[in-house]
Chain A
Amino acid sequence: MKLNIDGLLVYFPYDYIYPEQYSYMLELKRTLDAKGHGVLEMPSGTGKTISLLSLIVAYQKAYPLEVTKLVYCSRTVPEIEKVVEELRKLMDYYTKQTEAKNDFLALALSSRKNLCIHPEVSALRFGKEVDGKCHSLTASYIRAQHHSNPSQPVCQFYEEFDAVGRQVPIPPGIYNLDDLKDFGRRKGWCPYFLARYAILHANIVVYSYHYLLDPKIADLVSKELAKKSVVVFDEAHNIDNVCIDSMSVNITRRTLDRCQTNVETLQNTISRIKETDAAKLREEYSRLVEGLKEANVARETDMYLSNPVLPDEILQEAVPGSIRTAEHFVGFMKRFLEYLKARLRIHHVVQESAPQFLKDIYEKVCIDRKPLRFCAERLRSLLRTLEIADIADFSAITLISHFATLVSTYSKGFTIIIEPFEDRTPTIANPVLHFSCMDPSIAIKPVFGRFQSVIITSGTLSPLDIYPRILDFRPVTVASFTMTLARTCLCPLIVGRGNDQVAMTSKFETREDFAVIRNYGNLLLEMSAIVPDGIVAFFTSYIYMENIVASWYEQGILENIQRNKLIFIETQDAAETSMALEKYQEACENGRGAILLSVARGKVSEGIDFVHHYGRAVIMFGVPYVYTQSRILKARLEYLRDQFQIRENDFLTFDAMRHAAQCVGRAIRGKTDYGLMIFADKRYARADKRGKLPRWIQEHLTDGSLNLTIDETVQLGKHFLRQMAQPFRQEDQLGLSLLTLEQLQSEDMLQKIAQIAQQA
């Protein structure tokens, strides 16, 4: 249908529309008009993606000069591919309606592992191997060697692309990963480099978070993206963790050992080159005297996305003399390495700030702050000069150099923790230096600064006000949308007690309690008898799940559950879990029914949807608090309190509740879907927990379902499931949660829609 969103003609590729989609588009339009940032929460399964795409594409077509590009970031590869498929649907609709030839170029970008078509390289299993192998075939000096010595192997796909691929633009269309590969095969071009090149002029780019948030990758891939882009972060409820992870570094003894060998290799290479090709080193030297001016020019002219690892100040200066020659730099790195080794030889935990660390390093080994800051850039230049084939081998020294640059650049927002051993195994020495980022805004700042509109959206972003605070930006729209429902297809229940009235909770003091474990077991057992097909149960942590499973096994609870359903359990091995997951779906499919025991914050809870019969009930055993004894977390909490005035408990609860909401939200993926959401912990009944659930779950939590026993839960669940099993037709939804164009245009419907969005 064709919609009128606040004066903008939007093509929407369906005959019907959900009211909340309309409302969502309205808010989105406002955000784009204001050229500001937005935080939008809309339940999963209400067609968020297609709403986003429809509106932004319409906006791009209407105002091609205002918004030149859409950068859509999602989290997982399947998600990325889904987005592109939805986009394809939209574009098909456009061509059908307007009968004009599509002139849009949209493509997905992923790592080499998912795009490589080289027969040998693509056969490798791990991403890192593929990257390394690819580099060894496509690096510039390898190709130069190939010219003089044709026996040197190169990648013919890259050669072909390099020869002609850049001149001929890729024809407009929608390219998913497989389409890119097909196209690459047809033309004989490398799809990966083709995609990387094509994103610069594509209208829509879909890729993963890391390409924007991880400074190491963003610098390579995304820095030339146009300023007038709209950036969307979908499934953004964990965006702060992605930011933090990309800026944090861990150094173990093994890292240092490998770094040691790296340094030795460098030294040998340098002395060899010095004998054969001294001019090359001299050339590099003079280039470094010039400084990093090019980068500076580019940034000043607003061409590049700035790199948080490469702060502005160093761009204006030349590389300090002490590390300008290759030998001096290697010597410098050696000294730094020795210092780190000494720091790891400790017997007690040390925590210090970056300035303290710098002071110490100056006192001990006379390393100044300034050369440290240039470490990362200097190493990169050196590796380039020395024509190192396999960059992957030098990951250790690259890591150390990044650490050096970061620690000397940021005096705030980071902490250094050196732990001599793991908490659980105090007898085994395993020293680790954690350099951990505590401020997610550092990594995302360039994104907010550069692009005119950044939309943060997800099914679970409650409480909404916390994201602008921890990411340090000022949104123009902050809204949460509810799910309009013709029938209440979600049924959140809080189970607080067993039938013996013993409180159920995963609170640390009582979690090992026999009665609690037994009651949890009984709950699962009872549910397995009444819920059809699939049940997914989440535990707060892997270790907790292991313990509970073991005691359920001893008590024979699992065997009784097996009478009703098959049991599959997530393990720490991803391949094993994938298999269990597939078998689980198979068992749901063939009617046998199954239970999947899984872990909140695990891969399953974040990336896998349990639509329809794959998940008729989700049970959340306990409140998934993060492991609070970790020093890194403590440091972060402290930082949040001091910098953002967020109380520790507020943050912990927020973090736990967003994960709980993610887990239970896995089961509802649409209005025709239905599922029980069982929160098995009495603490969920408290207002401070409950209030942090997304609005679309909260509004179905009645006072009657707050502190149930297992029996009551079973009764309510039975009732709910029986109701939901009745046929549900489109007509039942029409006019309430599903609208035709005429219904949408009626006055009172528009009024109703206005209430869907709740501004925070």
Chain B
Amino acid sequence: KYKAAQTVFNIDKKCQKISPDGKAKIQLQLLLHTGESTTFHFANGSTALKDRDATKELLQQLLPKFKKKANKELEEKNRMLQEDPVLFQLYKDLVVSQVISAEEFWANRLSLNTVEHSLSNNNKQEVGISAAFLADIRPQTDGCNGLRYNLTSDIIESIFRTYPTVKQKYAENIPHNMTEKEFWTRFFQSHYFHRDRISTGQQDIFSECAKQDEKGLKSMVTQGVKNPMVDLLSLEDKSLDEGYGTATVPTTSNSSNKSLRENSNSAIIKRFNHHSAMVLAAGLRKAEAPSDQASETSSTDGNSRDSDFFQPPLKKVKLQESIEYDDLQGDSGRQTIALNLKKSDRYSHGPIPLQSQHYTTSQDIINSISIIQHEMRNYKPRLTQVMSSNAASSAITALSPGGLLMQGGGQQTINQLVPTDVQSELKHLYTAAGELLRHFWSCFPVNTPFLEEKLTGHLEEMLQAAYSKFQVWQTRRMMRKT
């Protein structure tokens, strides 16, 4: 039975059903995406129930992983087809017309594109974290003095990403110290999860997490803020000396005479601030991680507080921003962003082929248009300095097709002779044939029986199909011509 279970992993599964506990037959039914279903019958008597449960567990764990993988592949294929019209056409020509099977088509492609594949994977946007992910695990009472927490892989992922310390604990303790279930049970019981409860001081593996969080929070606070406009500490210019003023004097013993409730309240507030900061940071962390280039620049762009010399730029910018009235200004001076080159030589000696292409941003285009417009507006024909009409007409003839300067255009290329639809059809056929040939050549050297089989039976068929297709096209064309 296990073997059977192993094999089904390769199938897209939609869901699984198990027979109710009381039933005589102990079954596991798998519903596939295609609509088919497979039923496994567990028959070895006494251990059947246990086997079934174990299988179920295993499946449950593998399911999301596999699902993700399957989905990812599908998505990837889809993306490739969408991004590459030539490939799409090829796919239509070869797979849809059943010259070769989809697997064969992709088997070649995907491996070919592994480099690109991994690259695109990196660029893919991470799914953000919902701020309320902890709310989604709100416990529900199950009716008999128990609490049930709903934990999905997404939530676990969110917890790990927002609270790296928990992830660390997880890595430390699973699997040798406790089971996963135990870990999460402890997590939910911990003071860490219920921040409003006052720590009872009992052995709690998460108390360390709490401490670390506290530390992190403190270091964040001591680091201070980068934006001087929101720094409440330096807001006040000259505070009153101690002892002056009507405001109530802060009590000297602040923590001891605070009630328990007040303490728990402020703990909640701290927790929310921390949680939100962590969620925000988790989102940003991912965005920054792949491109260390970006982080490199951001650390030197004047945000660092440690030196007095770096502070003014940001402060100046913020100050200027805050006094600006963009509607009072005339044509609110075009805002330009200064190019910040880290390694300028890298930009001046770029790869050669790329240089030939000229990139223009939309802003450039808009700018140049406005410049041209501006110049046109100021254009005054200088009528005294025009050419004579003879020279002008000879220049025109020289510039018109067939003229002296347009010799190159004389030889008409094939693309002017053949209508475009025929051209494109021909192109498709050519690429399809090329693809088949690629398949053909990729079979050499023939060192596996599979390849041999493919070469002898399969490919010949395919080539045959291609020939016939070409034949069909040719005859159709001939007929059309005559």
Chain A positions near chain B (C-beta within 8 angstroms): 14-18, 47, 49-50, 76-78, 80-82, 85-86, 89, 110-111, 113-114, 122, 127-128, 178, 207-208, 210-211, 214, 216-217, 241, 244-246, 248-252, 254-255, 395-396, 399, 422, 425, 428, 430, 432, 434, 436-437, 546-547, 549-550, 553, 556, 558-560, 562-563, 565-569, 571, 573-583, 585-587, 590, 592, 594, 603-604, 607-609, 611, 630, 632, 670-672, 730, 733, 738
Contacts and interface: CB of A to CB of B under 8 A. Distances in A.
Nearest to B276: A566
A575 to B, nearest CB: 5
A509 B252 CA distance: 31
Contacts of A211: 238
A578 B264 contact: no
Contact of B269 (A49, A114, A549, A583): A549
B237 interface: yes
A248 B246 contact: yes
Given A248-B244, A562-B131, 16 more contacts: A77-B235, A207-B237, A241-B246, A244-B246, A246-B240, A251-B243, A434-B246, A550-B261, A553-B268, A579-B225, A581-B230, A582-B230, A583-B276, A585-B230, A630-B248, A733-B327
B230 A245 contact: no
A671 B266 CA distance: 38
Contacts of A594: 276
B228 A567 contact: no
B262 interface: yes
A14 B325 contact: yes
Contact of B237 (A77, A122, A571): A77
Given A255-B243, A395-B242, A428 B225 contact: no
A585 to B, nearest CB: 7
A373 B342 CA distance: 67
B424 interface: no
Contacts of A567: 131, 272, 276
B235 A246 contact: no
Contacts of B252: 252, 254, 430
Contacts of A128: 241
Contacts, number: 232
A546 B131 contact: no
A424 to B, nearest CB: 9
A216 B241 CA distance: 10
B425 interface: no
Given A567-B276, A576-B221, A582-B225, A16 B245 contact: no
12 contacts: A78-B235, A122-B308, A178-B315, A248-B246, A252-B249, A550-B261, A550-B264, A575-B232, A579-B221, A583-B273, A608-B229, A672-B327
Contacts of B279: 566
Contact of B325 (A122, A214, A603, A670): A670
B327 A730 contact: yes
Contacts of B134: 559
A398 to B, nearest CB: 8
B327 A738 contact: yes
A719 B217 CA distance: 40
A483 B266 CA distance: 40
Contact of A250 (B131, B237, B245, B268): B245
Contacts of A585: 227, 230
B228 A428 contact: no
Interface stretch (B5-13, B18-26, B316-324): B316-324
Given A77-B237, A78-B228, A566-B276, A560 B135 contact: yes
B233 A575 contact: yes
B234 A399 contact: no
Given A77-B234, A86-B323, A111-B238, A563 B131 contact: yes
Contacts of B312: 178
Contacts of B253: 428
A255 B244 CA distance: 11
B239 interface: yes
A563 B356 CA distance: 49
A550 B268 contact: yes
A580 B273 contact: yes
A245 B247 contact: yes
A80 B243 CA distance: 26
A594 B131 CA distance: 10
Contact of B229 (A78, A86, A127): A78
A560 B130 CA distance: 11
B329 interface: yes
A208 B238 contact: yes
A562 B135 contact: yes
